[in-house]
Each structure stands twice: as structure tokens, then as C-alpha cells.
Structure 1
Amino acid sequence: MSAKLENKVAVITGGGSGIGLATARLFAEQGAKVVITGRRQAVLDQAVATIGHGAIGLAGDVSSVADLEELFRTVHERLGAIDVLVANAAIYALAPLAAMSEETFDALTSINYKGTFFTVQKALPYLNDGASIILTSSTVATKGVPNHAAYAASKAAVRSLARSFSAELLDRRIRV
């Protein structure tokens, strides 16, 4: 068993399923102390059972700055400083341009873009210098795909955040 991440603290938003869960399992297998987040505690509890290795599931909504503040305070109190942050929480919603509702558009923006921005901002005081930040985007951010305009724009925003964060956090040797 590889121990590349032995005793490193890793926080993964959207860790209850999909890419987030697969990442959490891999990190735990490599020795990391894993914390996953998501909106539904029951889903997190099932994921934690799958991950094993002492993983922790903390419920919270990335579109809520208050939830993010509480999340990172709790992680720091329980495990100390964070070495790896995976801002993965997102929703996927498609609609033709003419049919996209304001409610769905706002949800995509609030979770995929705002959620990613404030996940990183609220984690910053608790990140070790030299930490790694991973932002989950999508290939649709770089090409035109019918019915994907709002989703693609939210993921293009995440790509832009990665570039800006990388330059801004260089002095702390934080990789994005």
C-alpha cells in the first residue's frame, strides 16, 4: 500500500459520490486523514463506510458561506491544518438557452462558481504553506455544447479561478 499522503489532512467537498468519493477513497488508501462534505448526512455516512480508514463526513452546503466557515473551523479543531483541498462540489443541469430557468441558473452559479470561490477563501486560514488545491472543472468549459451554456459557464469560471488563485497564492507555495 502506498503511503504518499501519510498523515496529510485532505478535505473534499462533494465527497459523497462520483469523483469526490473516488478521490476520497484513493487519498485514504494513500494514508490521508480524509474529510468529505456534502449536503446530506445520510449520503456522507454511507460514503464514509465505503472509504474506511477513519474518514469523517461533515454535512454542509458550499453555497453557504456560514456553512463553509463552520466546516473549516471544525476540520481544524479535529485534525489541524489542511494539506489538500479538493473543491469538487457541483451540480449538473442542462437546458436549451430558451428554456433555462432563473432558479436553475442561480443554483449552477451559486454551487459551482460561488461555492468553489468561497470554499477556497474560507479554507485559506487553515491551509498549510505548500498545500495543494484541486478544483474540479469540466471539458465543456472550453467548447460550445448545445444545452450546456449555463453549466459550461460555471465551469469556465472555475478554470479562471484556478489561474487567478495559482498566481495569488504563489508566495505561500500553494499549488492550484
Structure 2
Amino acid sequence: MTDIDIEVRINGDLHRDRVPPRLVLADYLRTRRGLTGTHLGCEHGVCGACTVLLDGAAVRACLIFAVQADGSEITTVEGIASPDGELSPVQAAFREHHGLQCGFCTPGFIVSATAFLRENPEPTEGEIREAISGNLCRCTGYQGIVKAVASAAETMKQASLEGSA
């Protein structure tokens, strides 16, 4: 099969590449772009470790071919923090509330929670649990993760109120 030209914007930077048609987005991000925060766990779309934002929507990068992302904006966990390295509210809340242990699943949770809070800035605990149900963690028991997402929502709400005052 012939390689295909793609053009994607990843974490704000434009990239043009030639890729095999069956190269999955997760492998492209990790091997071609060096963005190893996108983890590969199950490689079947079940665990959520490879979650990235594709045009703002949380998707499993192991289920999408890189050629399908042509013309898209991709945000990986590396692009969630501000350009100066300041942690996003979600990242800071995960640190503060011990929403991680081994850290393998954490990038997927952070990306998923970031997308979720954009859509639902004032979630209930039940909504948070539903939103993260597509991400698996074998270490934490989820309590710290749920607390972290709730705390990030509150931090973002406060920042929004202060910004509009």
C-alpha cells in the first residue's frame, strides 16, 4: 500500500507527514511525533489510556487511523497544560487530590475529564462517574479521580466568575 500525505495540527503545531494507511493515530503520535503521553493499554478502545482530543472531542487514538485525522486539530495530554508549563485545572486537581498512582491511565483520564468539563462545567458526582466510566484504572479505586474532576470543575467555575467580574 502506498503511504498517504496528512496534515494535522497537534497541540497547536502544524505537521505534514506521509503515513501508511493502517497506522493508528496513537502509534503516529508516539512514534512519529514523540508524544508518549498517549499511552497504549488494551489497543481495543476499552481502557481509555490513549484518549486524545480530536477537533475537541475525546476519542480513542488506538481506534482511529492517522489518515482519518487529516485536516484535524489534535490535543494530547502534552497540550493540556499552558504553553508556559502551568498545569491545567484538571491536571492540578489530579495532583492535589491524588487522582493517580502508577500514572499509566492518568493521561487518558485528564484528556477525558478536560473534554467532559467543557461540556458540563457543573457536574454531579454521578455525572462525573458516568463521564469517566470509559477509562480504566487498576490502582486508585477512582475516589481520588472523582474528587479531582469535581475540584477542577469548581476551580474552573471560580475562574470563570472572577473573569466575568
Q: Is TM > 0.5 for Structure 1 vs Structure 2?
A: no
**TM-score scaled by structure 2?**
0.31
Larger helix fraction of residues: 1
**TM-score scaled by structure 1?**
0.29
Higher relative contact order (CA 8 A, sep 6+): 2
